[in-house]
Amino acid sequence: MFNKKKEERNVWLVIEKNTYGYTNNETFTVAKKAYSNEEAIGYKVALDNLNDRDNQSYFIATDVENATNEVIKFHNEKVANDNK
């Protein structure tokens, strides 16, 4: 009765990368989430076209677990450094 199979969907993340200062401090943020490769590419192209900053770039993360772990790692490092 309650055994409905959960629909599995692939997720692509468009990640925004910002580089600050001469020490190349980097921050990563999930800019958009897409459910197809074509949708992710469309988001990335649109964000690239709107981007007017030299220190900002975008890339598509196809391995969600690794991308999420990297975002979490950099976030935790930033929080730790801000609290010193």
Report how far residue 48's alpha carbon sits from residue 38's, in angstroms, rounded to the nearest whole number: 15
DSSP string, 7-37: PP---EEEEEEEEETTTTEEEEEEEEEESSH
pLDDT tens, per residue, the chain with 84 residues: 444 454 556 788 899 999 988 777 889 999 999 988 889 999 999 999 999 999 999 999 876 566 666 677 777 887 888 776
Show Cβ contacts of residue 9 under 8 Å, excluding neighbours closer than 6 positions: 35
- The pLDDT value recorded for residue 8 is 57
Residue 11's identity, in one-letter code, is V
Tokens for 50?
Answer: 């709107």
Q: How far is CA 69 from CA 18, 31, 34, 39, 51, in A?
A: 17, 16, 18, 23, 26
- The pLDDT value recorded for residue 3 is 46
- The pLDDT value recorded for residue 37 is 81
- Domain residue spans in the chain? 12-82
pTM for the structure as a whole: 0.62
- The pLDDT value recorded for residue 52 is 95
- The pLDDT value recorded for residue 39 is 92
- The pLDDT value recorded for residue 17 is 93
